[in-house]
Amino acid sequence: MKKIPFVALVVGGVLVADQLTKWYVRRTVGLYQSVPVLDSFFQITHVRNPGAAFSFLAGASDSLRIPLFLAASVLAIGGLIYFIRLVPEHQRWLLFGLSGVLGGALGNLVDRISSGQVTDFLLLQWRGYHWPAFNVADSFITVGVVILLVHSFFSKDASSGGSSS
């Protein structure tokens, strides 16, 4: 498969999966309601996050927060598209990582544009500790960043895209 169709398939798949799961949670789980999946470890908990990761700036005024997050999203998306264009077609893992981050960024941007906040619903906890709720977009952003980090640490020549990850 050529590079552009591959990237479009990954980005589109992430975006559709993210939006469908958020839509389903908004329709079936009440706000702040939790549904246990794996007792004492994993639950579906419907929350809305007006902030960024870990609710960063969630309490800031809409007049600051919304333009800031929209601008940051547009810049990040532009940067991701730029880097995707530079990656050779044979580096599928690197293209997958960048495309996953792009799809996740677009998924959360759709939420910000449509409602000014992001729907989160995946909640992990262990022995009284819990990770802040997240969503499918956040998951792909995280996986994509891990792939990018692994690539940067283990590529023979990361600056020229030398390895065939």
Could you tell me if 2 and 89 are in contact, meaning their C-beta atoms sit under 8 angstroms apart?
yes
Question: Is 159 among the domain residues?
Answer: no
Please state, in angstroms and rounded to a whole number, the distance separating the CA atoms of residues 73 and 56.
15
Question: Is 97 among the domain residues?
Answer: yes
Alpha-carbon torsion 111, 115, 116, 118, what sign?
A: negative
Question: Is 65 among the domain residues?
Answer: yes
Which of the listed ranges 27-31, 37-41, 126-130 does the model predict with the highest average pLDDT? 27-31
Q: Which domain holds residue 94?
A: 3-154
Structurally, the chain folds into a number of domains equal to 1
Question: Is 120 among the domain residues?
Answer: yes
User: What are the pLDDT digits (tens) for 89-108?
Assistant: 999 999 999 999 999 999 99
Question: Is 49 among the domain residues?
Answer: yes
Question: Is 150 among the domain residues?
Answer: yes
Q: What angle do CA 147, 89, 70 make, to 5 degrees?
A: 55
Q: Could you tell me the pLDDT band of residue 114, with boundaries at 50, 70 and 90?
A: very high
Q: Could you tell me the pLDDT band of residue 62, with boundaries at 50, 70 and 90?
A: confident
Question: Is 161 among the domain residues?
Answer: no
Query: Please, what's the b/e burial string for 23-59 (b: 16 or more CB within 10 A of its CB; e: otherwise)?
Result: eebeeebeeeeeeeeeeeeebbbbbbbbebeeeeeee
Q: What is the pTM of this model?
A: 0.87
What positions carry a catalytic annotation? 120, 138
Which has the higher per-residue pLDDT, 53 or 126?
126
Residue pointed to by tokens 């702040």:
32
Question: Is 162 among the domain residues?
Answer: no
